[in-house]
Amino acid sequence: MKSRQSRLIVAKESPLNGEAPVSELRSRITPVPSFFVRSHFPVPQIDVSKWRLVVEGEVGAPREFSYRELREMPRVTVAATLECAGNGRSGFKVPAEGELRWGSGAVGTARWRGIALRTVLEKCRVDKTATELVIEGSDSGNVGGVVDPIRFSRGLPLQKALDKDTIIALQMNGRSLSPEHGYPARLVVPGWYGMASVKWLSRIKVVSGEPYSAFFNGVKYVYVDEQKGRRARTPVDEVRVKSIITNPLDGDVVRLGRMVMISGRAWSGSGKISSVEVDHGKGWEKTMVDRATAGRFAWVAWRKRWVPDRRGEAEIAARATDESGNMQPLEPLENRFQYGYNAAQRIRVKVV
């Protein structure tokens, strides 16, 4: 069902988790009511007058920043596509036990406005020995059979933290963040899956040594390959190249001999999209890719004209390639928690 407060298809009521209908993903910037919500715990109740962002650890000048102080710092705006690491999970053949069965709508692009994370770190004078940040949100709950509640936290390599487009966002599409999207402040890590963009930001600890490996950084949000007797764990981080078809939609009816504009969106964390191809029964063909993108980490639009020439069911497939040479596979890359689904999308329409 759809949420009363938004246009989302709700996967779980409490805590709220919902994705957009694919038809809502046709615009360059996704409206907030259509932007997916992924929550592990209930939305925390925060008094912004008392809220502080604590920066500590291996820094020369530990500090606490109030909301007002952050608002008075130089602002930057970044257009970035965020995608849940589980987006498309329903496309895997084997369900992942205990994980949400997302369709294709746990993704969206917004204009995020706030302060470059490196600006805040510079004020705190990060030690030369530091290698990573531990980012902590204000949300908390019980996980994995542990009695005491934990907070959602993630590790972020210092190099990625210092990227000019990694920001502490205070606004989304021109307005203050909504409670579901992390008010009063959240991290936005462009090019990485959404779990890195920690909501309800409360603490940043600068550390060195072994990579952070708490629950949401070592138990979950890792690719676990258990095939051939191996149990390799690889961190989930950079978004895999991907595309979706937003027109026509799966199950639509189209007319014989009448032009159909096949169109959609494509994105990647590894670089700009270099090409998108579609196959409507006659092999892969290049599409027109809109280069007027909103930014280097924002999705692009693509389109291809098609005139159906036979009645019956027709399959349409799409796949994207990025500038690093990464191409969507024809089959998904199976893993224990079924993260990172990016197989070439296939839909079926009826030609009458």
User: Is residue 34 one of the residues assigned to a domain?
Assistant: no
Cα 139 to Cα 22, 41, 180, 253, 341, distances in angstroms: 29, 6, 11, 44, 27
Task: Please say which residue of 185, 217, 235 terminates a domain.
Answer: 235
Does residue 264 sit in the same domain as residue 225?
A: no
Range of the domain at 306: 242-351
Does residue 191 sit in the same domain as residue 274?
A: no
User: Is residue 135 one of the residues assigned to a domain?
Assistant: yes
313 strand-pairing partners: 350
pLDDT tens for each residue of 148-206: 999 999 999 999 999 999 999 999 999 999 999 999 999 999 999 999 999 999 999 99
Does residue 310 sit in the same domain as residue 254?
A: yes
51's CB contacts (< 8 A; 6+ apart) are 66, 67, 184, 202
Residues 333, 340 contacting (CB under 8 angstroms): yes
pLDDT for 230 equals 56
- 3-state DSSP call for residue 118? helix
Query: Following DSSP, what letter does each residue of 179-237 receive, concatenated?
Result: GGGTTT-EEE-TTB-GGGS-SSEEEEEEE-SSPP-SIIIIISSEEEE-GGG--EEEE--
Band (pLDDT 50/70/90 cuts) for residue 282 is: very high
Residues 130, 207 contacting (CB under 8 angstroms): yes
Half-sphere exposure of residue 90: CA atoms within 13 angstroms, side-chain side: 10
Nearest to 154 by CA among 110, 192, 184: 192
How far apart, in whole angstroms, are the C-alpha atoms of residue 317 and residue 117?
39
User: Is residue 312 one of the residues assigned to a domain?
Assistant: yes
CATH code for position 164: 3.90.420.10
User: Is residue 173 one of the residues assigned to a domain?
Assistant: yes
Does residue 274 sit in the same domain as residue 211?
A: no
Does residue 193 sit in the same domain as residue 253?
A: no
pLDDT for 295 equals 80
Task: Please say which residue of 208, 235, 262 terminates a domain.
Answer: 235
pLDDT tens for each residue of 79-117: 999 999 999 999 999 999 899 999 999 999 999 999 999
Does residue 186 sit in the same domain as residue 298?
A: no
How much of the chain, in percent, has pLDDT values that exceed 70? Answer: 96
Task: Please say which residue of 235, 258, 274 terminates a domain.
Answer: 235
Backbone angles phi, psi at 222, to 5 degrees: -135, 145
Rounded to two decimals, the pTM is: 0.95
User: Is residue 22 one of the residues assigned to a domain?
Assistant: no
**Cβ count near 178 (within 10 Å):** 16
Does residue 218 sit in the same domain as residue 333?
A: no
Band (pLDDT 50/70/90 cuts) for residue 5 is: low
2 pLDDT above the threshold of 70: no
User: Is residue 12 one of the residues assigned to a domain?
Assistant: no
pLDDT for 1 equals 37
Does residue 176 sit in the same domain as residue 247?
A: no
Count up the domains in the chain and report the number.
Answer: 2
Does residue 246 sit in the same domain as residue 226?
A: no
Residues 270, 190 contacting (CB under 8 angstroms): no
Amino acid in the structure at residue 222: V
pLDDT tens for each residue of 301-335: 999 999 999 999 999 999 999 999 999 999 999 99
User: Is residue 269 one of the residues assigned to a domain?
Assistant: yes
User: Is residue 157 one of the residues assigned to a domain?
Assistant: yes
Does residue 104 sit in the same domain as residue 247?
A: no
Does residue 202 sit in the same domain as residue 61?
A: yes
Band (pLDDT 50/70/90 cuts) for residue 226 is: low
pLDDT for 343 equals 98
Amino acid in the structure at residue 133: L
Does residue 255 sit in the same domain as residue 155?
A: no
